[in-house]
Amino acid sequence: MSDWIRVCALDEIAPQGSRVVASSQGNIAIFRTADDAVFGLHDKCPHKGGPLSQGIVHGETVTCPLHGFKIGLKDGAAVAPDKGCARRFAVKAEGGAVWLQLN
């Protein structure tokens, strides 16, 4: 497991919003919920590759902007009856900053 990398300050992501991080492992969507929890997912919907970072965040779910797939932020899994899973990345909020661990 690699080190925690600082991504940005927490307040540089809007609550119920997201930012895109370009990494050696592709684009990673970092989400911030209304309760300030942060999550990281590969920015690619398991359905047709839509950018999940551009979706609407509600609770701990994001709705893909392309065809409305709902993806759980915690596990990256599509909400039934849809199927599929987006790769997860470890993310934490600490000391006012957001940190990411690459797989």
Partner 1 sequence: MNARIEAAPLDEHHSGRRPKLVVVGNGMAGIRAVEELLKLAPDLYDITVFGAEPHPNYNRILLSPVLAGEMTIQDIVLNPLQWYADNNIGLYTGKTVTKIDRTARKVIASDGTEEEYDRLLLATGSTPFILPIPGNDLPGVISYRDIKDTDEMIAAAATHKHAVVIGGGLLGLEAANGLKLRGMDVTVVHLMPWLMERQLDKAAADMLKTSLEARGLKFLLEKQTEALIQGESGRVCALRFKDGLEIPADLVVMAAGIRPNTALAESARLYCNRGIVVNDTMQTYDPRIYAVGECVAHRGIAYGLVAPLFEQAKVCANHLANFGIARYSGSVLSTKLKVTGIDLFSAGNFMGGEGTDEIVLNDPAGGVYKKLVLKNDTLVGAVLYGDTADGAWYFQLVKDGQNIHEIRDHLMFGQNHVGDVGHAGKTHAATLPDDAQVCGCNGVCKGDIVKAIKANGLFTLDEVRKHTKASSSCGSCTGLVEQILASTVGGAYTPADTKDKPMCGCTDHSHGVVRQAIRDQHLLTIPETMQYMEWKTPSGCASCRPALNYYLISTWPGEARDDPQSRFINERAHANIQKDGTYSVVPRMWGGLTTPSELRAIADVADKYQVPTVKMTGGARVDLLGIRKEDLPKVWADLGRAGMVSGHAYGKSIRTVKTCVGAEHCRFGTQKSMAMGVKLERMLFGMWSPHKVKLAVSGCPRNCAEAGIKDVGVIGVDAGYELYVAGNGGIKTEVAQFLCKVKTDEEVKEYSGAFLQLYREEGYYLERTCHYVARVGLDHVKAAVVDDPVKRKELYERLLFALQDYEDPWQQAVQQPAVRREYQVIRLEEVTT
Q: Where do contacts with partner 1 occur on this chain (CB under 8 A)?
A: 2-3, 5, 7-8, 12, 14-17, 19-24, 27, 30, 33-34, 48-51, 54-59, 61, 63, 65-68, 70, 81, 100, 102
CB of 23 to partner 1, least distance (A): 5
CB of 46 to partner 1, least distance (A): 15
DSSP 57-97: EETTEEE-TTT--EEETTT-BBPTTS--BPPEEEEEEETTE
